[in-house]
Structure 1
Amino acid sequence: MPPFPTATTASATSHLALLVLLSSSSLFFLYKSIRLRRKPSPASGPARTTTPTLLYASVTGTSKTLATRLSDRLTANAGVPILATDASSFEPDDLPSVPLLLLVVPTHDGGAPPPSAAFLARWLEESTADFRAGALLLSGLRFAVFGVGSRVYGETFNAASRNFSRWLRALGAVEVVPLGEGDVDGGELEAVFEDWSGKVLRVVKGEELNEGVLGESDGLDELELEGEESDDDDEEETVAVEIDMEDIAGKAPARQNGKVEGSLANGGQNGVKEMVTPIIRTSLEKQGYKILGSHSGVKICRWTKSQLRGRGGCYKHSFYGIESHRCMEATPSLACANKCVFCWRHHTNPVGKSWKWKMDNPLDIANAAIDQHTKMIKQMKGVPGVKPEKLEEGLSPRHCALSLVGEPIMYPEINALVDELHRRHISTFLVTNAQFPEKIKTLKPITQLYVSVDAATKESLKAVDRPLFSDFWERFLDSLKSLHEKDQRTVYRLTLVKGWNAEEIDAYAKLLNLGQPDFIEIKGVTYCGSSATSKLTMENVPWHSDVKEFSEVLASKSGGVYEVACEHAHSCCVLLAKVDKFKINGKWHTWIDYDRFHELVTSGKPFKSQDYMALTPSWAVYGAEEGGFDPDQSRFKKERRHGTAALKG
């Protein structure tokens, strides 16, 4: 008779069983993932009509004419109204939710797409180069592309349409009709387009849904796996399978029933989608963001950590008297209408031109932001150098920088959120990207309202901010004008990027009269590494001396309206201020009386920026020996060579 198993052998047996179970589960999810990626759309069963998104990009009008003809044919024969739309008005972030994309596009100069399709092309190209997007990003999309070109141009013939096809397949989309290539000079354009359109019609009517080329992958598509064909439920399993694969690799947050868990998230009620997808959430959380609900975020700033240790605050401490250890960085909208080249987040956040997502309650956002911020402050307890008294103060935030990432005024309830913060005696420093002038007009009093002035000409603004709006320049100018209508403190925030906008000082000077801001912050760009979405290098980063020189020249060009008031050498930042408002008896008053501000807000009566200003300390004034460093703090220098730290008074 065999002996009874001991505790040791029983434990070994249970571990072995667990490993077998995990291995089996992993293989199962791998198998399901491959099947889902290889699975063509069902061609059997009753025909079903698919409503496509039909886009065109046109230079001479040929592509628009062809797209309109296709629209008419599909509408007449497929039984669903289909409108041909210019690609410039389409938001690429909507691609994952599009069932069928039809694209008619010519090839422009040197093989490039025409201007109206340039943003869509850039979005696709950057996504294929970004490892965070993955080969399953557009796995639910089917598409067909028709190119208009001329063989006279040799190797660039229909290069744009070929690139669109390649990028879409690389992101997991299925090409249901082979690429159509029309030659405007070959005499066969009409016939080729007619044949391609006929195939598209059959796809739309549900007759040929499995024709075409599957999305590109890592080679797993070539594996031959036997098993029963999937049923209709497999489409619903796609999200769950992708999530399981990520969970096994430790890449995804906790989920239940395909929904993201969170203090405010509800999985998107009534069919309204959530702004933060699992991919976006995972990427932002890796960067240290705490995601609040479905569209907000909070993050602890390095200057908050610095002043908790008594090692100095940020430039807003020097310029305006903010207590950096009591400052909370948050945003009610992680989405933005720009894709700036210097964005710290390398475009891991969503983009959009209007609010199209589920909306969380402003009270819940305020509560969740403060809760998450204080949790992060508590985690600093016991960190070497953190002062107990500063830590205690930090648990009660008194300032909120509504900037972080995204465009805060896109959130429809931004005024209610601001009210919630002010009710708790938390000041507000809100930064907008100058694309929503009407939102600026309707904003309630903000402690200090910023507009990012990232460039001074239409061409450079397009290159630096890479805006979604086609009328971005008009929106930009209107935003500056809207800023002028505000009675509270207003700021132009300039980020200098060598080779991009630092040489436009005369153009910047012309913009001053539009918004007539109280202050102008001029800061050198912070280099955060190159990526597929940003090609900045250290050569684009100005020295503090460069920023000072730029600031002095800009002040001189204002005709005495502005003077250089403060600087923060560590942040490579300089402040210009209006002389007639903030220089009294030769002394600058750029600091803020925060208690007075809250009294004015509570009163409900009109008030102006001068009503809550305070004297600027001498150490923060431009040219001071301290360079904007608070002498009550202790400078900290880390000797990296020897691995030791030293304090300097």
Structure 2
Amino acid sequence: MDSQFFLGQLPAELLLIWHIHRVPVILSAVSLVAIVRFAMYLHGRRGKISVSPTPRSPTEKAVVELKSEWLPENTLLDPLAINKDSHPEEATSAIVSTVKAKKGPKKVKGKKLPNKLAKATSTFNHKTDKIQPLIFFQSLAGTSERYTSQTAKAIGSWISSLVDCDDSAPILEPQVHDVSYIEYDDYFVSAPKTEPNTRHFYLILIPTYNIDTVLSTFLQNLQETHNDFRIDTAPLAELLGYSVFGFGDKEGWPTEEEGFCSQAKEVDKWMARLTGRKRAWPLGMGDVTGDVEARLGEWIHGIQEALVDIAQGRGLGEGVPGSGNPAESGDEDNDILGDSDVEKFQTRRIKAKMSARLDDVEDLGSVVNISTSTPDVPIPIDFTTYKPKPTPNPVQAPKEMVPITSPTYNALTKQGYTIIGSHSGVKICRWTKSALRGRGSCYKYSFYGIQSHLCMEATPSLSCSNKCVFCWRHGTNPVGTTWRWITDSPDVIFTGITAAHYQKIRMLKGVPGVRAERFAEAMCIRHCALSLVGEPIFYPHINDLITILHSHHISTFLVCNAQHPAQLAALVPVTQLYVSIDASNKASLRAIDRPLHRDFWERFCACLDILRVRRFEQRTVFRLTLVKGFNMADEVKGYADLIQRALPGFVEVKGVTYCGTSAAGSVGLTMQNVPFYSEVSEFVAALVEELVSRDLGYGIAAEHAHSCCVLLADESRFKRQGRWATRIDFERFFELYEGRVRGTRMEDGEVVGWRPEDYVGEETPDWALWGNGGFDPRDVRVWRKGKGPKKEKEMEM
């Protein structure tokens, strides 16, 4: 009976509760919804760094927006100079290069942490923690690398002798890293991640160059890290300490004022700022033509003392010049001096302070305190000039990219390059020598009909914005992100590269096996591969150089690394445009190409969108370089996404060529990373299967097994009556380029410009098709000792 009464009263009680509490409930619900909506609004406004939009479908119109920071600083290229009438279907989707004002994130202002708090965050327990020395070096000619190896060996031997010491924390064996092959973010934006109870100690040994090298980029990175408001003031404060040693040449720079070890001094200065002034030992400097052995030995001895102090819990010490809380490199410090020296030092300090800005009362107070020893001398203080007069910054004249006296020049010339002017180069390809002797041409003859002995390999820019792990140039070419060098005219470059090429050809006339008819043909250049080293479109007058080449009926095959979208958008049509696609995702691209641009992935994707728009103006090619262990496993779908995004006419898949340098080995590239041709073939088959499943219509057109290279092509564009036609009609190309054919009339009567399909050449020969090897039957293949058909059959058995 009671339960029936309770059920009967329950609705009335709920209604009474609602009437009593409805106002706070409604207000709470409304507030919750408002908070959620506001959080979603803020999240939507937050921009992402270096994140590209999702790949577009093949039917979606491509619109590329070029950012202001991508525009070349010293170039004549016009990023708006793009043919908007490339194709009637793509007329409305031409590149729209609208450069907007850059709106950066709001700067967050904060207070600098006190020294006591900063020290508290970097405590070191000498009883339980370990010390891991990391040695960084940079070398072009090998001198710095040799001394670095001696340093690592000396410190390693000394550490081994301390194993039996019970009163010191264990010091681990030093690890050596080449600055040219590391990711700066992993070591110089924050302390490297390692095992618990392990702290790092940095040793940096670097030379000084008068040219732009990886070291220049390293210094720029240190400076940008310090000035980046998004990063802590001292991001490397967790380090136990650091010290720098510089290698110089007093024959070139006699004094420090004239530049002796200047880049080492810069590294020391920026490291002091990034570590919160944890200089464990003063900057060491040695002359490679004189006292370097003695100075380096003294520096190593000092490093050992510093490590012992840290290991025994004394830290960096107090009152030792260059330790504790040292001044920045280049700033004057009050070292341990005598009484008379102190008086002279104080006098200099007074004069310095009188000519400098007085920021606060403490600066004025220090001047008054110092002057108490000489009360009779009045202190002239002018309160009317608070700020010093600004001195105009002298305009620095541009310098040469590769001076003739630089180690880069020596390294490249030893590798067979001829340097033209100060930033261009030419070299004879090994396939040119092979074709002259009737031993076969490279893959470009099998795929496109280019005979190697008629081809010149050159570049107008020896500088590059990547440091690829498989680069054949051994890291000796300059690097940079902006053009800031003396610029040679296109006429000078064309004259120089052609003359140097012909000279190198003449030097081969006495080589055994050179055929007379091919030697005569080689004295008339018909093709130019702008892919030797560096980045060709980096050159400000690249369009003028291409025009000169075409005016001499020399076809152009240009290769770029997809890091300069503004220059790519402004490029005039070439015979065939290559883009290096070395990875399918951001992480792999960073590990393989090691680009200098921090927004490298965003630049990369923008270049793909530009390539998609311009595919009806010129033949476009994806070059995939496969490196086993880096960019092959589980990346087929990723590559298919990129192909679907840009829709190139061709896709070349090639196995990496190992150049056998110690520099490559330091980043993990060995012969184990070179794929076999069978592995490349399996990868190509899987890629084609993925593309077919997406209805993209790519098929395997040709191969060149000798180069471990396979060609994919768009069947709808380069297949005629069931037969592949990947070769080029070069005479037809020049007719179209010179305007002899003004346009192609469409069905609706509209006349549009010529397209890549208009200069398709003969059908691909049977010997070059997939499954036939791709070696020209007119030539004779020469096998190396221990290899050949007979050897391969024995291995199969």
Query: TM-score band (shorter)?
Result: 0.5 to 0.7
SS of residue in 2 equivalent to 1:312: coil
Does the 8 Å contact 2:628/2:673 carry over to 1? yes
Task: Note if 1:544 corresponds to 2:544.
Answer: no
Kindly tell me: are residues 202 and 283 of structure 1, through their superposed partners in 2, closer, same or farther at Cα, counting changes over 3 Å? closer
Q: Distance in 1 between matches of 2:657 and 2:240?
A: 34
Q: Distance in 2 between matches of 1:400 and 1:446?
A: 11
Kindly tell me: are residues 555 and 192 of structure 1, through their superposed partners in 2, closer, same or farther at Cα, counting changes over 3 Å? farther
Does the 8 Å contact 1:582/1:589 carry over to 2? yes
Kindly tell me: are residues 484 and 534 of structure 1, through their superposed partners in 2, closer, same or farther at Cα, counting changes over 3 Å? farther
Q: Distance in 2 between matches of 1:165 and 1:602?
A: 62
Residue 200 of structure 1: how far off its partner (Å):
3.7
Residue number among 552, 558, 576 corresponding to 1:424 in the alignment: 552
Residue number among 459, 464, 471 corresponding to 2:599 in the alignment: 471
The residue aligned with 1:609 is 756
Write out per-residue CA displacement over residues 475-502 of structure 1, whole angstroms, 9 at most, x where no aligned residue.
Answer: 1111111111212100010000000001
Task: Note if 1:140 corresponds to 2:262.
Answer: yes
Counterpart code for 1:545: S
Task: Note if 1:591 corresponds to 2:719.
Answer: no
Residue 453 of structure 1: how far off its partner (Å):
0.4
Residue 93 of structure 1: how far off its partner (Å):
2.2
Kindly tell me: are residues 148 and 612 of structure 1, through their superposed partners in 2, closer, same or farther at Cα, counting changes over 3 Å? closer
The residue aligned with 1:577 is 713
Task: Note if 1:329 corresponds to 2:476.
Answer: no
The residue aligned with 1:288 is 416
SS of residue in 2 equivalent to 1:325: helix
The residue aligned with 2:339 is none
Write out per-residue CA displacement over residues 213-272 of structure 1, whole angstroms, 9 at most, x where no aligned residue.
Answer: xxxxxxxxxxxxxxxxxxxxxxxxxxxxxxxxxxxxxxxxxxxxxxxxxxxxxxxx9721
Q: Distance in 2 between matches of 1:97 and 1:556?
A: 45
Counterpart code for 1:498: K
The residue aligned with 1:273 is 399
Task: Note if 1:512 corresponds to 2:643.
Answer: yes
Task: Note if 1:410 corresponds to 2:538.
Answer: yes
The residue aligned with 2:779 is 633
SS of residue in 2 equivalent to 1:440: helix
Instruction: Compare CA radii of gyration and give the structure with the larger one.
Output: 2
Does the 8 Å contact 1:331/1:403 carry over to 2? yes
Kindly tell me: are residues 209 and 324 of structure 1, through their superposed partners in 2, closer, same or farther at Cα, counting changes over 3 Å? farther
Counting only pairs closer than 5 Å after superposition, residues 34-433 of structure 1 correspond to structure 2 as 92-93=215-216, 106-107=235-236, 139-141=261-263, 142=265, 143-144=268-269, 145-146=271-272, 200=327, 203-204=330-331, 207=332, 271-277=397-403, 278-433=406-561
Q: Distance in 2 between matches of 1:599 and 1:345?
A: 37
Counterpart code for 1:294: S
The residue aligned with 1:482 is 610
Residue 164 of structure 1: how far off its partner (Å):
12
SS of residue in 2 equivalent to 1:631: coil
Does the 8 Å contact 1:298/1:331 carry over to 2? yes
Residue 553 of structure 1: how far off its partner (Å):
1.0
Give TM-score scaled by structure 2 length. 0.53
Counterpart code for 2:711: L
Residue 94 of structure 1: how far off its partner (Å):
6.0
Residue 513 of structure 1: how far off its partner (Å):
1.5
Does the 8 Å contact 2:568/2:610 carry over to 1? yes
Q: Distance in 2 between matches of 1:448 and 1:569?
A: 22
Does the 8 Å contact 2:238/2:275 carry over to 1? no
Structure 1 unaligned regions, length at least 5: 1-54, 61-89, 114-120, 129-135, 151-156, 212-268, 642-649
Counterpart code for 1:617: P
Task: Note if 1:620 corresponds to 2:768.
Answer: yes
Write out per-residue CA displacement over residues 531-553 of structure 1, whole angstroms, 9 at most, x where no aligned residue.
Answer: 23544111100111111111111
Does the 8 Å contact 2:658/2:670 carry over to 1? yes
Seq. identity, %: 46
Does the 8 Å contact 1:58/1:105 carry over to 2? no
Does the 8 Å contact 1:441/1:485 carry over to 2? no
Q: Distance in 2 between matches of 1:426 and 1:359?
A: 23
Counterpart code for 2:261: S
Kindly tell me: are residues 198 and 348 of structure 1, through their superposed partners in 2, closer, same or farther at Cα, counting changes over 3 Å? same
Does the 8 Å contact 2:424/2:461 carry over to 1? yes
Q: Distance in 1 between matches of 2:460 and 2:496?
A: 11
SS of residue in 2 equivalent to 1:592: coil
C-alpha RMSD of the superposition: 4.5
The residue aligned with 1:30 is none
Counterpart code for 1:635: R
Give TM-score scaled by structure 1 length. 0.64
Structure 2 unaligned regions, length at least 5: 1-184, 192-212, 227-232, 248-255, 337-394, 744-752, 788-797
Residue 107 of structure 1: how far off its partner (Å):
3.8
Kindly tell me: are residues 109 and 421 of structure 1, through their superposed partners in 2, closer, same or farther at Cα, counting changes over 3 Å? farther
The residue aligned with 2:688 is 555
Write out per-residue CA displacement over residues 4-54 of structure 1, whole angstroms, 9 at most, x where no aligned residue.
Answer: xxxxxxxxxxxxxxxxxxxxxxxxxxxxxxxxxxxxxxxxxxxxxxxxxxx
Q: Distance in 1 between matches of 2:444 and 2:241?
A: 44
The residue aligned with 1:239 is none
SS of residue in 2 equivalent to 1:392: helix
The residue aligned with 1:231 is none
Residue 576 of structure 1: how far off its partner (Å):
0.3
Kindly tell me: are residues 109 and 327 of structure 1, through their superposed partners in 2, closer, same or farther at Cα, counting changes over 3 Å? farther
Kindly tell me: are residues 209 and 356 of structure 1, through their superposed partners in 2, closer, same or farther at Cα, counting changes over 3 Å? farther
Counterpart code for 1:485: V
Does the 8 Å contact 2:214/2:478 carry over to 1? no
Q: Distance in 1 between matches of 2:757 and 2:601?
A: 31
Kindly tell me: are residues 201 and 577 of structure 1, through their superposed partners in 2, closer, same or farther at Cα, counting changes over 3 Å? closer
Does the 8 Å contact 1:329/1:400 carry over to 2? yes
Residue 197 of structure 1: how far off its partner (Å):
11
Kindly tell me: are residues 372 and 613 of structure 1, through their superposed partners in 2, closer, same or farther at Cα, counting changes over 3 Å? same
Kindly tell me: are residues 210 and 411 of structure 1, through their superposed partners in 2, closer, same or farther at Cα, counting changes over 3 Å? farther
Write out per-residue CA displacement over residues 498-555 of structure 1, whole angstroms, 9 at most, x where no aligned residue.
Answer: 0000111111111111111000000000011132354411110011111111111111
Q: Distance in 1 between matches of 2:631 and 2:285?
A: 31
SS of residue in 2 equivalent to 1:146: helix
Does the 8 Å contact 2:691/2:698 carry over to 1? yes
Kindly tell me: are residues 395 and 102 of structure 1, through their superposed partners in 2, closer, same or farther at Cα, counting changes over 3 Å? same
SS of residue in 1 equivalent to 2:528: strand
SS of residue in 2 equivalent to 1:591: coil
SS of residue in 2 equivalent to 1:396: coil
The residue aligned with 2:45 is none
Q: Distance in 1 between matches of 2:641 and 2:702?
A: 22
- Higher-RCO chain (CA-CA 8 Å, sequence separation at least 6): 2
Kindly tell me: are residues 601 and 148 of structure 1, through their superposed partners in 2, closer, same or farther at Cα, counting changes over 3 Å? closer
Counterpart code for 2:776: D
Write out per-residue CA displacement over residues 551-584 of structure 1, whole angstroms, 9 at most, x where no aligned residue.
Answer: 1111111125210110000000000000100011
Q: Distance in 2 between matches of 1:168 and 1:209?
A: 24
Counterpart code for 2:517: E
Counterpart code for 2:578: Y
